[in-house]
Amino acid sequence: MFSVEGLAKRFGERVLFDGARLELEAGSGYVLTGANGTGKTTLLRIVAGLEPSEEGRLAFRAQASLVSDYPEAWRREVVYVHQQPYLFGTTIEKNLEYGLARRGVPRSEREARVREALAWAGLTERREVPPHKLSDGERQRAALARAKVLDPTLLLLDEPTANLDGDARKQVLELVTALCIENHTVVVASHDPEIIRLAILNRLCVADRRIEADD
């Protein structure tokens, strides 16, 4: 469904990837592990078309491209959620509606999809609250709901449970699991042992400038 071949990426003298390869199957979930600084976030950003690389070839639904010439149409199908997601300073409801409005989705459909996503994330009662009044866990759930409402073909999550504990971490973990069960193609970069242990996720490890299956 999505593949990367011959990926090379460096920052100055520091080489992150050298001939790396990644293959993602439709409807599968993956957890991306590796030591800090090995390139997990960089890899997600490259897959999302947000980060350039020196070399690399991509294929998505049988369409090929160089990393340096990432097709604009793919950006509508590949969604990246940052570890510290940015939310507009309006209501959570408006945050979720924004992307749909930009895509020309009719208002009635937008409203229905936003209601469904808010309920899915347990944020219906918080829909009119601005992001700065949300807890860290609520902001992360809002970011996941904003991604889900766009119905992406490929969803990339960067450390979704980082800096969360207790119920907040548990609630986000449940949403990540639900996304995989719903047959989304999901890649989660994480150090969280509970995410890494999820049986529904295939384990990939970034090490020695490559990406390898970690069975």
* Residues 42-52: tens digit of each pLDDT: 999 999 999 98
Contact 158, 82 (CB under 8 A): yes
Residue whose token pair is 């979704």: 160
Residue 9 CA: distances (Å) to CA of 17, 43, 120: 5, 9, 37
What does the DSSP assignment read for 54-120? SEEEEEETTEEEEGGG--GGGGGTEEEE-SS----SS-HHHHHHHHHHHTT--HHHHHHHHHHHHHH
The pLDDT of residue 215 is 67
Q: State pLDDT tens for residues 108-147.
A: 999 999 999 999 999 999 999 999 999 999 999 999 999 9
Q: How far apart are CA 79 and CA 55, in angstroms?
A: 22
Q: Which of 94-103, 123-132, 175-184 has the lowest mean pLDDT?
A: 175-184
The pLDDT of residue 17 is above 90:
yes
> Which of 147, 135, 203 minimizes the C-alpha distance to 179?
147
Each residue's pLDDT tens digit, 20-41: 999 999 999 999 999 998 999 9
Average pLDDT, the chain: 92
CB 214 within 8 A of CB 203: yes
| C-alpha span between 160 and 121 (Å, rounded) | 14
List the Cα angle 2/39/22 in 5-degree steps: 25
**CATH numbers and ranges of domains, the chain:** 2-213 (3.40.50.300)
For residue 182, pLDDT beyond 90: no
